[in-house]
Amino acid sequence: NAGVMQNPRHLVRRRGQEARLRCSPMKGHSHVYWYRQLPEEGLKFMVYLQKENIIDESGMPKERFSAEFPKEGPSILRIQQVVRGDSAAYFCASSPSGGSNQPQHFGDGTRLSIL
Amino acid sequence: GQQVMQIPQYQHVQEGEDFTTYCNSSTTLSNIQWYKQRPGGHPVFLIQLVKSGEVKKQKRLTFQFGEAKKNSSLHITATQTTDVGTYFCARRYGGATNKLIFGTGTLLAVQP
């Protein structure tokens, strides 16, 4: 009965490289959310996806960031040409549906460090 | 209008003392959720409140939703060292999205 699985737990990249963060939702969950948490701050919504669809990407930076949730496989958050300001913890959450009363279950997060 | 404010930002208590964190919104909330995040950990769902004036208890934790559905509180009775962490309230944004808008969080430190 695995929870939300994220990998890697820690990721180090140099400026200009690409970062790929993966998230497998809980079994039976088809809705995935990505949040970013800067040091000493709260979580900020980035993007909400269902299988093969982006529902809300209002929190995604306009450039360098993209997300997908393919029919098969995990959801991917991709950051191209990383900069120091991208250093943060990236959390994925899932829920069984998009209902308003559904709690979101979070993964352990990926701590991204940019050198 | 989306932001959810929490106070205090930080609270340091002696073990056994009580603790309360408050969450305030300028707009009416359809529901409010509470999460706990241990240092270095991930947010863990605690509870959801949906009704005006609702009060729910989980052992030493008491959650309240204001009558006007614009504020909420979390009260911990007789804190223990295991209560250490950051407590976040979160509101659902509404519409077609189920995204959560998190409060600024309250970091609780408990001294044994």
- Which range, of B36-45, B86-95, B101-110, averages the lowest pLDDT? B86-95
pLDDT digits (tens, 9 = 90+) for B5-33: 999 999 999 999 999 999 999 889 888 99
B interface with A, Cβ–Cβ below 8 Å = 30-31, 33, 35, 41-45, 48, 50, 88, 92-94, 96-105
pLDDT over threshold 60, residue A1: no
- Whether the pLDDT of residue A97 is over 70: the answer is yes
Helix intervals (H) in B1-112? none
Which of A42, A99, A108 is closest, CB to CB, to B88? A42
Cα B108 to Cα B45: distance, rounded to the nearest angstrom: 17
Using pLDDT thresholds of 50, 70 and 90, give the confidence band for residue B2: low
Residues of A in Cβ contact (< 8 Å) with B104: 41-42
DSSP notation for B7-26 = E-SEEEEETT--EEEEEEES
Task: State residue B3's pLDDT score.
Answer: 74
Q: What is the pLDDT of residue A99?
A: 66
Rounded to an integer, the average pLDDT of A1-16 is: 92
Per-residue pLDDT, averaged over A24-30, amounts to 92
Contact B98 A100 (CB under 8 A): yes
Give the pair of three-digit tokens for residue B99. Answer: 């995204």
Q: Is A10 on the interface with B (CB under 8 A)?
A: no
Residue A4 has pLDDT above 80, yes or no: yes
Mutate to test the interface with A, among B34, B93, B98 (most CBs of A within 10 A): B98
Per-residue model confidence as pLDDT tens digits over A32-61: 999 999 987 889 999 999 988 999 999 999
Q: Which pLDDT band, with edges at 50, 70 and 90, does A100 fall under?
A: low
Pairing of strands B97-102, B106-111: unpaired
B47 and B63 in contact (C-beta within 8 Å)?
Answer: yes
